[in-house]
Structure formats: structure tokens, C-alpha cells
Structure 1
Amino acid sequence: MNITQYLTEEHRKCDSVYAEVEKAVSEENWEKAEELFKEFKEKTLLHFKKEEDVLFPEFEEKTGIVMGPTQVMRMEHNQARELLERMEEALKNKNKDEFLSLGESLMILIQQHNMKEEQILYPMSDQNLNPEEMVEKMSELGEV
């Protein structure tokens, strides 16, 4: 499995869990929504950690590109983290409209972000790094 396949699969897993969260919130099943949101947040943050701690530094070292796509991805990860915190607060307050509004903002950010990674950064990583070695290193951090 290469980097593109591995990390794209993680994107799909996170998207799938978020769809369940959104459904639970829409139905005002708060207990289920909180449980699923916790899972979604953990998976998303683990995915970010794999990229920030393993993939990005290796990519930057190997290519010498440090002010390019990885910098943009880190910035977008930080925006996503901020939205996740705000969504968690809205969930605690059982504020359905606020949660869904923030969720829509997060999904727009994540979809655009994932597209850039899947079409640009991951293929560049597969070309410049050892895909099997990178997937093994990222897997050691846990499974999304």
C-alpha cells in the first residue's frame, strides 16, 4: 500500500464517522452524538499527527520544500482543530444549530484540504519517499 492509498483511506473513515455524528445530532440523540464525536475527533487528530510527525518532516527533509504544501496543510490542521473545539462546546451545550453550522464549516475546510493532499501532496510523497516505510511508520502511531 502506498502513502496515497493509506491516508486517503483514513480520510474516508473519518468522513464516515462524521456522517454518523451529524445524523445523531440531527436526531438530537446527544449521548450517541457525544460518543461518536469523541471517536471522530480522536481519529482526525491521530491522522493529523501521522502527517505532522511522520510524513511532513520526511517530505520536507527529502525534497527541501519547507514553505510549500506542508506549511499550508499544518495551517489548515490548526483551523480544523479550532473548529473541533468549538463543535465540542456546542455539543456539550446541546446546541444543534451551532454544531451543524460549525460542522458545515469543518466539512468544507476538510474536503478542500483532503483534495489538495490526495491530488498533490500524497502523490508527491509517494514519488519522493519510500511508501512502504512511510506507511509502516505512520501505522505505528495507531489505526484510524
Structure 2
Amino acid sequence: MEISNYMKDEHRLCDEEFAKAEQAVSSGDFDEAFRHFEEFMVDTLKHFDKEEEILFPAFEAATLSTEGPTQVMRYEHNQVRGLLEQLKDAIDKADKERFFSVADTLMILLQQHNMKEEQMLYAMCDNVLGEQAKDLVEKMKAR
């Protein structure tokens, strides 16, 4: 459960940061929205990097497969990256309607993505990586 617990906690932190950005946009405070959104974006992209550069390669090496769940997660990460750019643009333009339109899409994608990771992939990583799990979490924490 070492990997599952650590990664789930990061998901929750990112969710909280995004909620703060949404609240600021809702109240029309785009300076505050940008600060919270930037924190959300940096942490989300850092989370993706940890998965793509540390966790997924270890899982793929252990399972001898680059197809399957990690391939799907990378694809979804790229979709999220595109939506993050759209959200940043909406905040820069103080476009509340556009922000919430893109935010709805992002939240649906992230909820589905996180559920797949939390209910399947992270548990698989904990099982397959066994003794490596603690070291991998330490590497991710160091990022």
C-alpha cells in the first residue's frame, strides 16, 4: 500500500488546490485564481512526471510490458496537459465562462483517470513492485 497511499494523497492535494482556483474564479478574483491554478498546475505536472519517469518505468520493467495501463495513463496525462493550457488561457483572459466549461471537462477526465489509478494501477504497482515500493516512493518524494 506504500505506493497507493502516497499517490492517492497527491491526488487529494491537487483536488484541493483546484477547488481553491475554482472558488476564486467564481468570485471574479482572477489574480487569486491564477495563484491557486498555478500551484495546482505545477503540482499536477510534477505528479505526472513522478509517474512517467519513476513509477511507470519500474512497473513496466517488472511486468515486461509497456502496453496496457501505463500507456493509457500517459495518453490521459497528455489530454490533461492540453486542458491545463486552455484553463491558463481562460484565467489570463478573465473568461469565467470558458474557464468553467474547460474545468468541467478536466474534472470529469481527472476523476475517471484518478479512479483507474487508485483502484487498479497503484494496487498493481504495490503488488508487482513489492520490496521496491518503499524506495520508489522515496525517489518520488525527493522530486
Same fold (TM over 0.5): yes
Identity fraction in percent: 50
| CA distance in structure 2 between the aligned counterparts of 1:126 and 1:67, rounded to whole angstroms | 18
Say what the alpha-carbon RMSD is for the aligned residues.
0.8
Once the two structures are superposed, residues 11-44 of structure 1 have per-residue CA deviations (whole angstroms, 9 ceiling, x without a partner) of 0000001001000000001110011110000000
Residue number in structure 2 paired with 1:55 = 55
Residue number in structure 1 paired with 2:10 = 10
| CA distance in structure 1 between the aligned counterparts of 2:101 and 2:121, rounded to whole angstroms | 29
Once the two structures are superposed, residues 57-110 of structure 1 have per-residue CA deviations (whole angstroms, 9 ceiling, x without a partner) of 010011112110000000000000000001100110000010011011000000
Residue number in structure 2 paired with 1:46 = 46
Q: Which runs of 5+ in 1 are unaligned?
A: none
Q: TM-score, normalized by length of structure 2? A: 0.97
| CA distance in structure 1 between the aligned counterparts of 2:36 and 2:16, rounded to whole angstroms | 11
SS of corresponding position for 2:66:
coil
Aligned length, in residue pairs: 141
Q: TM-score, normalized by length of structure 1? A: 0.96
Residue number in structure 2 paired with 1:140 = 142
Q: Which runs of 5+ in 2 are unaligned?
A: none
Residue number in structure 2 paired with 1:68 = 68
Amino acid at match of 2:57: P
**Structure 1 runs of 4+ off > 3 angstroms?**
none
